[in-house]
Amino acid sequence: MRYDKFLAGRANWIKGSALADVMKKAAELKAQGRELISLSAGDPDPNLIPREVLGELAKEILAEVPASVMYTPASGIPELREEISKFLEKYEGYRVSPDDVIITVGGTGALDLLGRVLIDPGDAVITENPSYINTLLAFEQLGAKVYGVPVDGEGMRTDILEEKLRELRAKGVKVKFIYTIPTGQNPIGVTMSEERRKRLLELASEYDLLIVEDSAYNFMRYEGEATPLKAMDKEGRVVVAGTLSKVLGTGFRVGWIIAQGEIRQKVLMEKSPIDFCAPTISQYIALEYLRRGYFEEYHLRQGLPGYREKRDAMLKALEENLPEAEFTKPIAGMFVMLFLPEGADGMAFAEELMEKKGVVVVPGKPFYTDESGRNAIRLNFSRPSKEEIREGIKRLAELYREKF
Amino acid sequence: MRYDKFLAGRANWIKGSALADVMKKAAELKAQGRELISLSAGDPDPNLIPREVLGELAKEILAEVPASVMYTPASGIPELREEISKFLEKYEGYRVSPDDVIITVGGTGALDLLGRVLIDPGDAVITENPSYINTLLAFEQLGAKVYGVPVDGEGMRTDILEEKLRELRAKGVKVKFIYTIPTGQNPIGVTMSEERRKRLLELASEYDLLIVEDSAYNFMRYEGEATPLKAMDKEGRVVVAGTLSKVLGTGFRVGWIIAQGEIRQKVLMEKSPIDFCAPTISQYIALEYLRRGYFEEYHLRQGLPGYREKRDAMLKALEENLPEAEFTKPIAGMFVMLFLPEGADGMAFAEELMEKKGVVVVPGKPFYTDESGRNAIRLNFSRPSKEEIREGIKRLAELYREKF
């Protein structure tokens, strides 16, 4: 039976994810017994996460808290909302009422929900170019027209943003919001400068826009400054999509939305029919993790230095093996973007790298909102071991030399 | 700052959930120190779930399986998809390839995803009247026009369904699918007869429609027959939304979609940007639970007899305390629907019952697709203890006598 005729017209807006394709191909090769080095994931390192501690927590919670196997309110466990409000005050430098914290199914769930409440088909949304592929897809599935603003070493080019806003206003296009990952941007690995952050907020005010701040990598900062936009937000223009994914592990699916007023209200009303609630056991684990100070003990003191070492290992390996290549030098996040020579095809390169050298990377192209980025390759350093990073980059450099 | 102007036009489609309102009100009273008896939840009993066993599983998995804290493929862990395919063959009587099993964020996530792939704004969808409020809201948020077909003791009135289909066809309205909870229906607690099931499938074939079968309560059957529609489906018209929520606990958020062809493909493509994946630790717990035969050991042998006793306790209490009232007699599920005298206001009654007698129930009205059901009250028997059921119904009967 063919099902085409039953599909919604909007299903035509649904595009495949190059990320999912790469993961699928890699899984197939692994199933065939190939040993692969993966520099592809957006995962933290399971060995830098205190899994035994989390396991003890889970055991204790499931046995002792009957509510831990039940639904929670759509907004999440009240105690966790309070704990996150304190956590944000302490580590992000801004105060929000626990009422304005809504627990979501990871940062992905937060962004999809915000999109659903804010985007009508045909609405204009501005993002960095490149930007996180899943958010681009989520917004496009909702019918948004996405406009990308290029990024340099200091983050989103606010001068080009200004031009774009002026141009769109002149055309009568109403921009709904600007979506940004200011810190440790995925996929390009840059962090927005303090100056650009200020400018971005000024422009949002001038053009009367919202900013959706994706703070996924805020707790993966290795050096330098990166004041959250929300902490600089005097007018209430910043709505936050946050997550503990990079700290606790991506599998727990605990994220949050920080929103006020009608947005918060609509998100709350919309949420229950979509996912009922974020996973309860994950919420309780997150609650105890924060309450017991494990964020400091395990993430800040042990995890973060480990990721810094890996970042250093990747940059060093790139400098040694590919001194002539261009690549970003992240002070936060999980990714380095490597640029192949102008005109090279990153998709083909990534495929060949997997097939011939057993190294999995993600082509940068699908993260771009236009035809640029054809030669970009996203490299993850958070998940692989330092040895895998060195070996992976060595093999990547071999193929690079064979081809260019 | 007012945010109205930033909201999507579609945000106007978002309606509040009476269920959420009741839960919120009850939480407020509890916070004030009121002791409440709740006959409202859609949760199983945390004491009939082997929480210590699940806790041991969680501990073991988190410590020993690095992947347990990471993302899974959007479709879920391959081993779990296989296990669910075997589980469905054994307990539901139909065979599907593990490829056609997509792990979702509970049954709620499954239904929302199916709605997103199938419904365009303005599309007609047929449901039982009454039907599960969150699904109605999810479909309405997607712009569906929902048509309800009344239910009697044998489930959806297929004779009225036929009339409705004929009428809609005559008007040129294209129906996308029929949504049904054939077994242990929420909120009304009836189970569709075998005859009606056959007729429903015949009509779907005649009118060339899909059926979305919500099998949430299939594993909460106390007696009688209830062949899953999917097991009777020769043409591939049935798409299933399933869940382990009633077995493992609603908080784990492990559900599934069974779909083929283009529907399966689009669901898979759409899923990653929405939730990335269902919670990983929950997926592993579900996997081990099924693999080790705990479904049989804990749910079938211990849980199910416990729920049957509670169902019996509620029916007995109603018969003894309110012999003159009309109420449904479920052979499956978690709910009894009680009907106040004709013309009575169930919303007001539920409020008064909470305030004056400390008993929380859910008014039936919001589950109806039209103005009927004003006098209906949904009673849950799975979560409260037998003592709470007896005491709750006694107090409910007191108020009933005071009012009618």
Share of chain A above pLDDT 70, in %: 99
Among partner residues B236, B261, B273, which is closest to A108 by beta-carbon distance? B273
Please report the pLDDT score of residue B22 as a whole number. 76
Among partner residues B7, B49, B141, which is closest to A118 by beta-carbon distance? B7
A chain contacts of residue B210, beta-carbon cutoff 8 Å: 3, 6
Instruction: Write out the E strands in B79-169.
Output: 101-104, 124-129, 145-152, 155-156
CA distance A333 to B155: 54
Residue A255 structure tokens: 């994220």
Q: What is the mean pLDDT of residues A96-112?
A: 97
Contact between chains at B43 and A70 (C-beta distance less than 8 A): yes
Mean pLDDT, chain A, rounded, equals: 95
CA distance A359 to A365: 18
A115: nearest CA partner in chain B:
B8
Residue B8, pLDDT > 90, answer no
A chain contacts of residue B52, beta-carbon cutoff 8 Å: 62-63
Mean pLDDT, chain B, rounded, equals: 95
pLDDT, one tens digit per residue, over B48-83 is: 999 999 999 999 999 999 999 999 989 999 999 999
Which residue in this structure is represented by tokens 């790298």?
A: A353
pLDDT, one tens digit per residue, over A361-380 is: 999 999 999 988 999 999 99
CA distance B290 to B346: 41
CB neighbour list of residue A402: distance below 8 Å, 6 or more residues apart: none
Select the residue from B5, B80, B212, B272 to test the A interface by mutation, using most A Cβ atoms within 10 A.
B272
Contact between chains at B108 and A274 (C-beta distance less than 8 A): yes
Question: Would you call the peptide bond into B46 cis, given omega within 30 degrees of 0 as the criterion?
Answer: no
Q: How far is B320 from chain A (nearest CA, A)?
A: 31
Cβ of B319: how many Cβ atoms within 10 Å? 13
Q: What is the mean pLDDT of residues B127-149?
A: 94
Q: How far is B156 from chain A (nearest CA, A)?
A: 23
| DSSP bridge partners of B380 | B335
Q: Would you say A274 and B112 are in contact if contact means Cβ atoms under 8 Å apart? A: yes
CB neighbour list of residue A5: distance below 8 Å, 6 or more residues apart: none
**C-alpha distances in Å from residue A308, one per residue of A226, A311, B347:** 16, 5, 58
Q: How far is B226 from chain A (nearest CA, A)?
A: 26
Among partner residues A58, A62, A272, which is closest to B134 by beta-carbon distance? A272
Burial of B306: CB neighbours in 10 Å, binned 0-12, 13-18, 19+: middle
A chain contacts of residue B9, beta-carbon cutoff 8 Å: 120
Distance from the first to the final alpha carbon of chain A: 48
Q: How far is B88 from chain A (nearest CA, A)?
A: 22
3-state secondary structure of A346: helix
B212: nearest CA partner in chain A:
A6
A chain contacts of residue B143, beta-carbon cutoff 8 Å: none
Instruction: Write out the E strands in A201-278.
Output: 210-214, 238-243, 255-258
3-state secondary structure of B176: strand
Q: Would you say B252 and A279 are in contact if contact means Cβ atoms under 8 Å apart? A: yes
3-state secondary structure of B297: helix
Burial of B181: CB neighbours in 10 Å, binned 0-12, 13-18, 19+: buried
Instruction: Tell me which DSSP letter residue A173 carries.
Output: P
CA distance B245 to B223: 20
Contact between chains at A279 and B274 (C-beta distance less than 8 A): no
CA distance A343 to B276: 32
pLDDT classification of A353: cutoffs 50, 70, 90: very high
Please report the pLDDT score of residue A335 as a whole number. 98
Contact between chains at A66 and B73 (C-beta distance less than 8 A): no
Select the residue from B45, B65, B274, B382 to test the A interface by mutation, using most A Cβ atoms within 10 A.
B274
What is the interface size between A and B, counted as CB pairs within 8 Å? 292
Contact between chains at B276 and A20 (C-beta distance less than 8 A): no
Contact between chains at B3 and A106 (C-beta distance less than 8 A): no
| CATH dotted code for A4-49+296-403 | 3.90.1150.10
CA distance A252 to B68: 9
Distance from the first to the final alpha carbon of chain B: 48
More confident call, B12 vs A375? A375
B7: nearest CA partner in chain A:
A118
Please report the pLDDT score of residue A301 as a whole number. 97
B25: nearest CA partner in chain A:
A73
B chain contacts of residue A23, beta-carbon cutoff 8 Å: 73
pLDDT, one tens digit per residue, over B259-276 is: 999 999 999 988 988 888
Please report the pLDDT score of residue B369 as a whole number. 93
CA distance A30 to B61: 22
Contact between chains at A261 and B112 (C-beta distance less than 8 A): no
Q: How far is B240 from chain A (nearest CA, A)?
A: 15
Q: What is the mean pLDDT of residues B368-383?
A: 94
**C-alpha distances in Å from residue B151, one per residue of A94, A95, A324, A347, B340:** 52, 50, 72, 55, 17
Amino acid, res. A268 = L
CA distance A78 to A83: 9
CA distance B44 to A77: 18
Could you tell me the sign of the dihedral formed by the alpha carbons of A113, A117, A121, A127, in that order? negative
Residue B226 structure tokens: 């209830």
CA distance A282 to A254: 7
Nearest to B215 by CA among B193, B182, B190: B182
How many helices (DSSP H) and strands (DSSP E) are in chain A? 15, 14
Among partner residues B24, B59, B73, which is closest to A58 by beta-carbon distance? B59
CA distance A31 to A56: 32
Q: What is the mean pLDDT of residues A202-216?
A: 97
pLDDT, one tens digit per residue, over A144-174 is: 999 999 999 999 999 999 999 999 999 999 8
CA distance A150 to A157: 6
Percent helix, strand and coil across chain A, each rounded to 5? Answer: 50, 15, 35
Instruction: Tell me which DSSP letter residue A277 carries.
Output: S
Nearest to B26 by CA among B15, B42, B41: B41
Burial of B79: CB neighbours in 10 Å, binned 0-12, 13-18, 19+: middle
Task: Report phi then psi at B127, rounded to 5.
Answer: -130, 170
A chain contacts of residue B105, beta-carbon cutoff 8 Å: 105, 253, 275, 279
Alpha-helix runs per DSSP H in B18-132: 18-31, 51-64, 78-92, 106-118
Contact between chains at B59 and A56 (C-beta distance less than 8 A): yes
B24: nearest CA partner in chain A:
A73
Task: Write down how long chain A is.
Answer: 404
A13: nearest CA partner in chain B:
B270
Instruction: Tell me which DSSP letter residue A190 carries.
Output: -
CA distance A147 to A126: 5
CB neighbour list of residue B161: distance below 8 Å, 6 or more residues apart: B126, B149, B178, B200, B203
More confident call, B138 vs A31? B138
Minimum mean pLDDT among A64-73, A301-310, A388-397, B8-17: which range? B8-17
Domain segments of chain B as ranges: 4-49+296-403, 70-293
Please report the pLDDT score of residue A22 as a whole number. 76
Q: How far is B211 from chain A (nearest CA, A)?
A: 11
**In this structure, which topology does domain A70-294 adopt according to CATH?**
Aspartate Aminotransferase; domain 2 (3.40.640)
B46: nearest CA partner in chain A:
A66
3-state secondary structure of A188: coil
A71: nearest CA partner in chain B:
B251
B143: nearest CA partner in chain A:
A8
3-state secondary structure of A320: helix
pLDDT classification of A10: cutoffs 50, 70, 90: confident
Please report the pLDDT score of residue A86 as a whole number. 98
Sheet containing B335-339: give its strands across.
B326-327, B335-339, B376-380, B362-363
B chain contacts of residue A27, beta-carbon cutoff 8 Å: 73
pLDDT, one tens digit per residue, over B19-47 is: 677 777 888 888 888 999 999 988 999 99
Contact between chains at A273 and B141 (C-beta distance less than 8 A): yes
3-state secondary structure of A292: coil
Select the residue from A15, A238, A254, A270 to test the B interface by mutation, using most B Cβ atoms within 10 A.
A270
Please report the pLDDT score of residue B87 as a whole number. 98
Contact between chains at A252 and B19 (C-beta distance less than 8 A): no
Contact between chains at A23 and B73 (C-beta distance less than 8 A): yes
Contact between chains at B275 and A275 (C-beta distance less than 8 A): yes
Q: How far is B321 from chain A (nearest CA, A)?
A: 30
Among partner residues A56, A138, A266, which is closest to B274 by beta-carbon distance? A138
Q: What is the mean pLDDT of residues B179-203?
A: 98
Q: How far is A146 from chain B (nearest CA, A)?
A: 15
Among partner residues B59, B109, B252, which is closest to A55 by beta-carbon distance? B59
| DSSP bridge partners of A114 | none
Please report the pLDDT score of residue A294 as a whole number. 98
CA distance A7 to B189: 31
| CATH dotted code for B70-293 | 3.40.640.10
Could you tell me the sign of the dihedral formed by the alpha carbons of A24, A381, A33, B291, in that order? negative
3-state secondary structure of B186: coil
pLDDT classification of A9: cutoffs 50, 70, 90: confident
Nearest to B350 by CA among B375, B324, B380: B375
A15: nearest CA partner in chain B:
B269
B chain contacts of residue A262, beta-carbon cutoff 8 Å: 2-4, 7
Minimum mean pLDDT among A272-276, A356-360, B86-90: which range? A272-276
B chain contacts of residue A261, beta-carbon cutoff 8 Å: 1-3
Nearest to A315 by CA among A307, A305, A303, A327: A327
Task: Report phi then psi at A175, rounded to 5.
Answer: -85, 130
Cβ of A309: how many Cβ atoms within 10 Å? 14
